[in-house]
Amino acid sequence: MPRFIVITGGVLSGLGKGVTTASIGKILQSKGFSVVPIKIDGYLNTDAGTMNPYEHGEVYVTDDGGEIDLDIGHYERFLNMDLGKENNITTGSVYGEVIRKERRGDYLGKTVQVIPHITNEIKQRIMRVAKKANRDFVLIEVGGTIGDLENMVFVEALRQLAAENPHKFLFVHVTLVPTIVSGEHKTKPTQRSVRELQSLGIQPNVIICRADKELSKNIKEKIALFCSVPKNSVISNPNVESLYEIPLIFEEQGLSDIIFKHLNLKPRAQDLRKWRQLVKRSKYPHGEITIVIVGKYAHLEDAYLSIKEALHHAGIKNDVRVNIKWVEAEDIEDAGPEKYLRDADGVIVPGGFGARGTEGKISAIQYVRENKIPFLGICYGLHMAVVEFARNVCGMKGANSTEVDPKTPYPVIDLLPEQKKTSEKGGTMRLGAYKCEIKRGTTAYKAYGKTQILERHRHRWEVNNKFRKRLEAKGLIISGINKDRNLVEIIELRNHPYFIASQFHPEFKSRIERPAPLFDALVRAATPLSK
């Protein structure tokens, strides 16, 4: 049976439980153990698919079409592994399944209650993932904050599971140690958060303290005393330049020794050397470039978290620091593209939904096309690149996507017939991994080095095949297609340093040890020595 490490949070959300979970997993991997993570979210949504980025940051997509919390992205990037829908458990999915079972009569007429029926469903899901994955460790992150009403049932299920499996569970509590004006760290929020957890029947074994700087020995001893943990089990988690430093910071404080001692295990290996080298390379690059991201949620960086990380990965590989300049597409509509893009080494137009900001994106794409600035369009960015080309190169005045203008005379981007038949929003897109065949000799082929790839999608609208010949006749290269359904996957232009757009989201498969090829090629094209 595997060991279980449960990560909870206190005081406030957004403390970095996801990165903490991923960092613990990376440390365990370096010690020769296999891991599988699970993210628990207390919201009533079945999944994150219909959530606005302002609500919850980006929606992360897995190979099997899961629309999931962005913390799954941290797990995949740190642990270099692919996860799926089953690695995310939400209140909505749990209650939905229990209600379906009740309607079928599975409970044999019993009164269906939170305990034991909801808690049993949660435990069964966790154990199902554990059994299927067959890993040494199961890491379980509980989203939100201890004390949130929506999380109570999950905490109770985990308490029961720990009681049923003695000596197999370790609880890690992530909390905030704020600094007041005098510069002093205050421990009271941590003390109260731990007491809240204890009142629910769980005693944390490790307390990880988020703070602006390293905690002093005295502060650690105070937390240990009031929270009933050993002094060496209070781990400092200060602000860092790169998230990828965190496993190293934890390991310097002996976190793996604490885990192994509590769970009666011994390390099988000792290897964070490559990870240290990557972190060092990210902190001390030999060059610097600026990539402008023109989006509709540009002031909310978490909406494009995977793009931000993919650029970081590509920067490490190409030995440059990638400075990201965030630009709202609507600002370009107001002031024009030159003000924001003239000093850019490269430009990305990412995904999004709806009409807002589209003309700004189109103006930005025209500017980079005409001024030979390296460009990557992603999903909606591909749509806008096709619209821009149709209007300004092919002479299709008023060309557009029917998402933006249902009455456009040139619907170069349109819904597939089956999409036109449904009014539902959740889970109805082209989701998950689809095959793409790449033409040899193209920019896409140079980036990937192969003709067959598998990339993740999240969209409804597609390039309208009725206009493909007309677009290609004017020089638009369709370098990647999905042969199964004859759908455009990649477009590009000749006689340009780097102009490419993908219908899929390459950022979702980028890893620090294996950058996404289209991002790698963009950063390489944008780096001065390669120009």
Q: Is 322 left (phi over 0), alpha (psi -120 to 50) or beta?
A: beta
Task: Reply yes or no on whether 505 is catalytic.
Answer: yes
Catalytic residue among 227, 379, 394, 436: 379
Task: Reply yes or no on whether 185 is catalytic.
Answer: no
Task: Reply yes or no on whether 388 is catalytic.
Answer: no
> How far is the C-alpha of 515 from the C-alpha of 105, rounded, in Å?
49
Which among 351, 377, 486, 516 is positioned nearest to 429, based on CA atoms? 351
Distances (CA, A) of 288 to 339, 520, 521: 21, 14, 15
Cis-peptide into 116, omega within 30 deg: yes
Task: Residue 424: count other Cβ atoms within 10 Å of its Cβ.
Answer: 7
Q: How far is CA 173 from the centre of its chain?
A: 22
> How far is the C-alpha of 438 from the C-alpha of 436, rounded, in Å?
6
Handedness of CA 66, 69, 73, 79 (dihedral sign): negative
**125, 84 Cβ separation under 8 angstroms:** no
**203, 171 Cβ separation under 8 angstroms:** yes
Which residue shows structure tokens 């860092």? Answer: 240
Catalytic residue among 74, 173, 459, 505: 505
Task: Residue 411: count other Cβ atoms within 10 Å of its Cβ.
Answer: 20
Q: How far is CA 465 from the centre of its chain?
A: 31
Pairing of strands 206-211, 234-238: parallel
> Which strand ranges, in their side-by-side order, compose the sheet holding 461-463?
400-401, 411-415, 461-463
Distances (CA, A) of 521 to 294, 417, 527: 19, 35, 10
- For 384, the token pair is 């806008």
Give the residue numbers marked as catalytic: 379, 505, 507
